[in-house]
Amino acid sequence: MDTAGKVIKCKAAVLWEPRQPLKIEGIEVAPPKAHEVRIKIVATGICRSDDHITEGLMKNSKYPVILGHEAAGIVESIGDGVTAVKPGDKVIPLFLPHCGECRGCTEPKSNLCHKADLGKHNGLMSDNTSRFTCNGKLIHNFLNTSTFTEYTVVEEMSVVKIHDDAPLDQVCLIGCGFSTGYGSAVNLAKVEPGSTCAVFGLGGIGLSVIIGCKVAGASRIIAIDVNSKKFEKAKLLGATECINPKDYENPIHEVIQKLTNGGVHYSFECIGNTDIMVSAILSSHLSCGTAVIVGVAPSGSILSFPSRLFLTGRALKGGLFGGFRGKENVPQLVSDVMAEKFKLDELLSHKLPFSEINKGFDMLRNGESIRTVLKF
Ligand code: COD
Ligand code: ZN
Ligand code: ZN
């Protein structure tokens, strides 16, 4: 049946009010307007930033809302003027768009397009309307993507075509978690062969940092987590040592300083905890170390540390989506997966039917899962 130009009725997970479970609803998805693309979502991952109970990045979202920003799918139809993709193309939605015109897009070293919804929570398309309704009520979108739905509409700037043979169940992780961690090692830190690394937090992000450190040729990768169950996978992916701070009386940075005779070249905070951000700084070598902040701490939280920590030459970095520019870099990352440069199936711990999305969130919160991918 040709659905182009028609309203599509489908299933979506709607968050009606703050901190409530998601509700699977029948919704209506309007056809794409000019420069918009309607996508059939094939697989979507559950990322921390979608967590509506602990309220990471989705705090301050408008309600009701359809969350989700890590996915892969197939273009169903396109609006007038769209040239980047055509119906039938395999695509990944981009929560960091690329308008190509703003200061963020024209600076080659920046990946933060000013049209990103991140931190603004406008929750609407560029023309200030939504393509989603449920029983006649407007539903907002999230991070320019909204992937917890069978069909979504995104702007052309927020979608990129990938290889026709890409395994969508796996490469959906390139839409956020994998790229964020992997890029933090290879783009933000620029880990070098023979260097030493410490990775704090072994969720999907931290494990992806480990993959990046290994690909970059690090000689030591020290993995740190309060949950020792995470160590087996960390080792499988390239960690050379695993440390549980609970096993030590001394602060964890002292343990790492001692282990490495003065600190690591690169440390990564992948938890979103300001105390651990300071631990990551203190674990890095005082004159040639770099600490990379990957985790998102609660909004408004302040990171404070003695100013002299940087006098000696240390560096502190941060970044979103591992510094990748989605339109330019995502197709290559997909091809790298297909060429088995790295394996995403180790990160993909669980697969669930879409209807069990709330169970997927529970498993992320209690540490049972690394990444759950939902299938429609
Ligand atoms: N010390 C050591 N380990 C700890 C501590 C602690 N004090 N507290 C928690 N941990 C461990 C947990 O046991 C867990 O294994 C790990 O840290 C965190 O993992 P997850 O599974 O909760 O989270 P991830 O890997 O999905 O990571 C998400 C972040 C927590 C890093 C979150 O801030 C995030 O999503 N960052 C991405 C930043 C980004 O670019 N966001 C934009 C769109 S997502
Ligand atoms: Zn832009
Ligand atoms: Zn994410």
179-219 pLDDT, tens digit each:
999 999 999 999 999 999 999 999 999 999 999 999 999 99
Q: Which ligand is nearest to the CA of 268?
A: 1
pLDDT confidence of 138, banded at 50, 70, 90? very high
Phi, psi (deg, nearest 5) at residue 130: -120, 155
Please give the single-letter amino acid code of residue 209. V
Average pLDDT over residues 155-179: 98
Q: Alpha carbon of 370 to those of 48, 60, 293, 367: distances in Å?
A: 10, 26, 20, 7
Cβ–ligand 1 contact at 71 (below 6 Å): no
Helix axes 252-259, 274-283, angle to 10 degrees: 20
> What is the average per-residue pLDDT within 141-151?
97
The response to whether residue 57 sits with its C-beta less than 6 Å from ligand 1 reads: yes
User: Is 69 tagged catalytic?
Assistant: yes
User: Which pLDDT band, with edges at 50, 70 and 90, does 1 fall under?
Assistant: low
| Mean local confidence (pLDDT), 308-333 | 97
Please state, as a whole number, how many other Cβ atoms lie within 10 Å of the Cβ of residue 338. 15
180 lines ligand 1 (CB under 6 A): yes
- In this predicted structure, the answer to whether residue 59 has a pLDDT above a threshold of 90 is no
From the list 47, 99, 113, 242, the catalytic residue is 47
Which residues 6+ apart lie within 8 Å of 46 measured at CB? 70, 357, 360, 361, 364, 369, 371, 372, 373, 374
Which residues sit with Cβ closer than 5 angstroms to ligand 2, an ion? Answer: 99, 102, 105, 113
155 exposed, middle or buried (CB, 10 Å; 0-12, 13-18, 19+)? buried
Sign of CA dihedral 253, 274, 143, 347: positive
Catalytic residue among 52, 140, 253, 285: 52
Q: How far apart are CA 121 and CA 130, in angstroms?
A: 13
Could you tell me the distance, in angstroms and rounded to a whole number, from the CA of residue 180 to the centre of ligand 1?
A: 11
The 10s digit of each residue's pLDDT in 293-312 is 999 998 889 999 999 999 99
Mean pLDDT of the chain: 96
Average pLDDT over residues 126-131: 96
SS3 48: helix
Give the pLDDT score at 119: 84
User: How far, in Å, CA of 298 to CA of 182, rounded?
Assistant: 23
Half-sphere exposure at residue 281, Cβ-oriented, CA atoms within 13 angstroms: 22
The reported pLDDT for the residue numbered 54 is 76
Residue for token pair 């921390």: 48
The mean per-residue pLDDT over the stretch 210-237 comes to: 97
* Of 30, 34, 126, the residue nearest 80 (C-alpha): 34
